[in-house]
Structure 1
Amino acid sequence: MIDTNYHVFPKTDDAPMDAKWSIEEKPVYEIIKRLFDILLSLLVAIVAVPIIFVTCILVRLESKGSSIYKQERCGRFGKTFNVFKIRSMYIDAEREGPRWADKNDSRVTRVGKIIRRTRIDELPQLWNIIKGDMSIVGPRPERACFTEEFSKYIPDFRERLKVMPGLTGYAQVNGGYDITPKEKLQLDLKYIEKRSLLMDIKIILKTIKIVLTGQGAR
């Protein structure tokens, strides 16, 4: 069972909270990235809204409960926010407590398997991007309980929180869902170090390819 009595940022007198978050500042990149996020999200939303609407109807037809759900995730510097998704699991999926999803998760509905493979379940997060909680590209936001749990045995797992979380990321297009949290961290840290607009565009294009082929879904 995951311990939910967590603190994402344990603060001590000899280690100020801000000290560990020093990374190379890229102000021009950050401004362009934010403008790019807003513009692309609004354009995609024109096509996404009808898809979300139809998908929500299909979700409700198969299983009871709300079609859209929100879940608290860790954002930049550990600030939490509610991420929005189309429900792909049965409504009582976590009756035994939080669990990291696996490739052949029995909690996923039939409609859920399709929308996960095509990433349709993630489309409501366009709103998170427009709001400024997320970016299109960045480390995928984890739940605080998992961030705390993984940090117990994976050094520097919280380092993923140095940048804005993303709808897609370097770890997702290079490892998919079958990689371990440690492998995910290594890929995320590589992105944080080398992040650039060109790298973001390459990740977006690779994401489109994965969506069209259904690779790496769970």
Structure 2
Amino acid sequence: MKNYLLTKRILDLVFIIVFSPLIIIVIFISVFLIKCSSPIESSFFTQTRVGKNKKLFKIYKLRTMIQNENQGDQALTTAVEDKRITFVGKFLRKHRLDEVPQFLNVLKGEMSIVGPRPEQEKFVKKLSSEIPNYDLRHDVLPGITGLAQVEVGYTSDDKDEIKNKLKYDLKYINDISFVMDLKILLKSVSIIIFGSGSR
């Protein structure tokens, strides 16, 4: 796995270089749509997440919800039909476009394109004490997309659903390879284009 992780980092950077024009275009169009629907809202938000070896970092996202006046950051756990999600936000979430700014996190070495999704510190502390092997998720860099995301999609805070996603995260870590990353990327592209599998 160690040998592939170095190759994986190089592939991440090559991907960003090759697709940077498309990434920039998607962000600009998304920001334009957000501003059209919510002129006074910030188009981006950052939130502290737990990365590899439990190192904290700021994750970047496009805003998909009405900003809480008493809370600068958007909540992590959001129901699919949450009333705070804007019309544009529903589209961005369905096609996972709200995650596109995280390519900057990948560029900074805080994330990889494929890997377990990073969670908030308070959730990590709680789940680590309640679910065996939960901390193993932090043995690798977190990802913009991952096996759990393409197989399960958005879920609630139900512990059984979290355990199910953890099962996929651990399978990814144990079987990590170029072929697996490629399969996850292809499934992710399908979700981005068609919104399929975005549950």
Aligned identity (percent) is 40
Aligned-residue CA RMSD (Å): 1.8
User: Given the two structures, how large is their TM-score scaled by the length of structure 2?
Assistant: 0.90
Name the structure 2 match of 1:48. Answer: 23
Q: Structure 1 counterpart of 2:120, which letter?
A: R
Q: Structure 2 counterpart of 1:178, which letter?
A: T
Asked whether the equivalents of residues 52 and 123 of structure 1 are also in contact (C-alpha less than 8 Å), the reply is: yes
User: Per-residue deviation at 1:107?
Assistant: 1.6
Asked whether the equivalents of residues 86 and 124 of structure 1 are also in contact (C-alpha less than 8 Å), the reply is: yes
Tell me whether 1:191 sits opposite 2:172 in the alignment.
yes
Deviations, residues 37-85 of structure 1 (Å, cap 9, x unaligned): 0010222221121221121122122222210111111000100111111
Going from structure 1 to structure 2, the CA distance change for 1:183 and 1:133 (only over 3 Å counts) comes to: same
Going from structure 1 to structure 2, the CA distance change for 1:214 and 1:98 (only over 3 Å counts) comes to: closer
Name the structure 2 match of 1:61. Answer: 36
Tell me whether 1:215 sits opposite 2:196 in the alignment.
yes
User: Per-residue deviation at 1:120?
Assistant: 1.2
Counterpart CA distance in 2 for 1:91 and 1:166 is 25
Asked whether the equivalents of residues 125 and 167 of structure 1 are also in contact (C-alpha less than 8 Å), the reply is: yes
Runs of 4+ in 1 over 3 A off after TM superposition: none
Q: What is the number of residues matched between the two proteins?
A: 192
More helix by share: 2
Superposed, which structure 2 residues align to 1:125-204 within 5 Å? 125-178=102-155, 180-204=161-185
- Unaligned ranges ≥5, structure 1: 1-25
Asked whether the equivalents of residues 96 and 191 of structure 2 are also in contact (C-alpha less than 8 Å), the reply is: no
Tell me whether 1:116 sits opposite 2:93 in the alignment.
yes
State which structure, 1 or 2, has the greater radius of gyration over its C-alpha atoms.
1
- Unaligned ranges ≥5, structure 2: none
Name the structure 1 match of 2:52. Answer: 76
